[in-house]
Copies of this chain bind each other. A is one copy, B any other.
Amino acid sequence: MSKKLIGEQTVVFSNSPIILGCGSVVGEKEGNGPYGQCFDEICMDPMIGGSTWEEGESNLISKACSHAIANSGIKKDELNFSVGGDLLGQIIATTFGVSKLNAPFLGLYGACSTMGESLAVAGMLVEGGYADLTLAVTSSHFAGAEKQFRFPLGYGAQRPMAATWTVTGSGAVILASSDYVNKSKNRTVSQNQSRNENQSGNNEASQSQNGGRKVMIKGFTAGKIVDYGVMDSMNMGAAMAPAAADTLFAHFRDTGKTPQDYDLIVTGDLGKVGSDILKDFMKTKGYDLSGNHFDCGVEMFDKEQDTHSGGSGCGCSATILCGHLIKELKKGSLKKILFMPTGALLSPVSFHEGKSIPGIAHAVIIESEE
């Protein structure tokens, strides 16, 4: 009945929110990786100027938001909503990180799927007519996450080969309504006309301000909680892969699409172990991902950086999305991607109480238009 829900789990936007710009900030190790040159800022100080890991992570968020606002050519005061979250208990990295934006805030928790969830919620705020400009943000910090979920760094605990390395980084995306973009284009045209009264008016300024092709969120498939009973917190890829497969299968079932309809099917931080499981799962359901699967965790670090199964954390998919993928979409070298970060829904308490590690994945359809 609801007009924008197709099948069981997939929302298709009729008036797609536009990605105006984004910001990405990472730590030194990520800066030394293969995508180092893509990010807006590389912080050589592991504390990111804070006095604690948590304060440092909040600073990552503040910086990513500032870059996103500057890159979008908007003013901070124009933001109608900010949405987001992080891995820390009570999402303190985000709440302390976004408070200076002074925008209404909706806190989210989707573990490492948070960038997918944030884009979905921020997208609905814009597409539903509730906002003209929203900001979606998430973060993670290697040392903060180890302290929260595993062992203090000083213990020098051994990491098994299935373990991933939590990315120190934050990504922020600004979404705008088409109304906002059209009005701001007209404003720029009239400014250009008045500045160049004897020349022909053009809107190149607004094009360069927001850079390249129009990149839009076309919809999303919201994930269910999937629990295969995995108990190993050092193998998050295995815990999350069933959720990725569940959401991806639902997406294809709801939309009638196939993997080949996307230039890339992007997962967040399954790592090498989880990516192989996802591909195997999908193969048994008749879908071949071998040609265009891209896992941000696998891509984030070089093999020599010794992260074992790859990168992870909310910041992993968020920084690769904001630093690399959206730029490729704006350039036109990518036209259509399915961005599907996965989250492991454990806490240190649930893990130590012997509970399993359920997973969740939210898939966001992102397309560019000439």
Contact = CB atoms under 8 A, between A and B. Distances in A.
Contacts of A132: 1-2, 5
A2 B183 CA distance: 12
A99 B51 CA distance: 38
Contact of A2 (B51, B130, B222, B346): B130
A51 B352 CA distance: 13
A360 B82 CA distance: 13
Interface string A141-173: 000000010000000000000000000000000
B353 A55 contact: yes
Given A92-B347, A110-B106, A128-B127, A227 B2 contact: no
19 contacts: A1-B177, A2-B126, A2-B131, A5-B80, A89-B348, A90-B109, A90-B111, A90-B347, A92-B349, A92-B350, A98-B225, A105-B223, A105-B225, A107-B108, A107-B360, A108-B109, A124-B125, A128-B128, A128-B129
Interface of A: 1-5, 8-9, 11, 51-52, 54-55, 80-81, 85, 87-92, 95-96, 98-99, 102-111, 117, 120-121, 124-132, 148, 177, 179-180, 183, 222-225, 227, 345-350, 353, 355, 358, 360
Contacts of A227: 99
Nearest to A117: B106
B183 A1 contact: yes
Question: Copy number in this complex?
Answer: 2
A339 to B, nearest CB: 16
Nearest to A94: B109
A224 B105 contact: yes
A276 B183 CA distance: 45
User: Considering the complex of A and B, which 4 residue pairs feature the smallest CB-CB distances, nearest first?
Assistant: A89-B89, A128-B128, A104-B222, A90-B347
Given A104-B222, A104-B224, A110-B107, A5 B130 contact: yes
A238 to B, nearest CB: 18
B1 A95 contact: no
Nearest to A10: B104
B52 A4 contact: no
Contacts of A355: 55, 92, 96
Most buried by B among A9, A52, A96, A223: A96
A349 B88 contact: yes
Contacts of A148: 89, 349
B129 A109 contact: no
A91 B109 contact: yes
Given A95-B358, A103-B224, 9 more contacts: A1-B177, A3-B129, A4-B129, A54-B349, A95-B360, A104-B222, A105-B223, A107-B109, A128-B130
